[in-house]
């Protein structure tokens, strides 16, 4: 398996532009997570999907952020309009467990998208 795939790997955009980040989870995984990592705040969970349904979006910073998972093999995280404070590395991770409590439960991370908003 190729692992979790994210695109693009790097994105540089100007303030006010729309940004779309993409993720393909590992085939057969039921859970999908979007994280944001910054030096100041560390790793933060933005949103969690289970079986393509958003379960917890309490970490989404504000209405400028939205995420979708139209099917089991694809998810997007969109920022519109983008701001300089959105600059960070965004990770997508997937997990095989539906309940999240399986004994071998762990999360498999993609390589991340480094977003720079000028």
Return residues touching other proteins (CB under 8 A): 4, 31, 33, 42-43, 45, 48, 50, 55-56, 91, 93, 95, 99-101, 103-112, 114
108 with 93: CB under 8 angstroms?
A: yes
Q: How far is the CB of 112 from other proteins (least distance, A)?
A: 5
Tokens 């099917």, residue? 71
Is the CB of 50 or the CB of 82 nearer to other proteins?
50
Is the CB of 31 or the CB of 82 nearer to other proteins?
31
d(CA 21, CA 91): 10
Among the listed residues 84, 97, 91, the one whose alpha carbon sits nearest the alpha carbon of residue 110: 91
Q: How far is the CB of 42 from other proteins (least distance, A)?
A: 5
Residue 51 gets the label, from left (phi > 0), alpha (psi -120 to 50) or beta, of left
Is the CB of 62 or the CB of 101 nearer to other proteins?
101
Token pair belonging to 23: 């993720």
Q: How far is the CB of 34 from other proteins (least distance, A)?
A: 12
Q: How far is the CB of 51 from other proteins (least distance, A)?
A: 12
């Amino acid at each position: 398996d190729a692992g979790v795939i994210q695109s693009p790997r790097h994105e540089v955009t100007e303030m006010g532009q729309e940004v779309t980040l993409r993720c393909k989870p590992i085939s057969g995984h039921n859970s999908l997570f979007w994280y944001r990592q910054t030096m100041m705040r560390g790793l933060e969970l933005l949103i969690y999907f289970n079986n393509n349904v958003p379960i917890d979006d309490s970490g989404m910073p504000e209405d400028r952020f939205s995420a979708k998972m139209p099917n089991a093999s694809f998810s997007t995280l969109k920022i519109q309009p983008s701001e300089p404070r959105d600059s960070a590395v965004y990770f997508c991770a997937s997990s095989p467990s539906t309940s999240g409590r399986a004994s071998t439960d762990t999360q498999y991370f993609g390589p991340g998208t480094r977003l720079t908003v000028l």
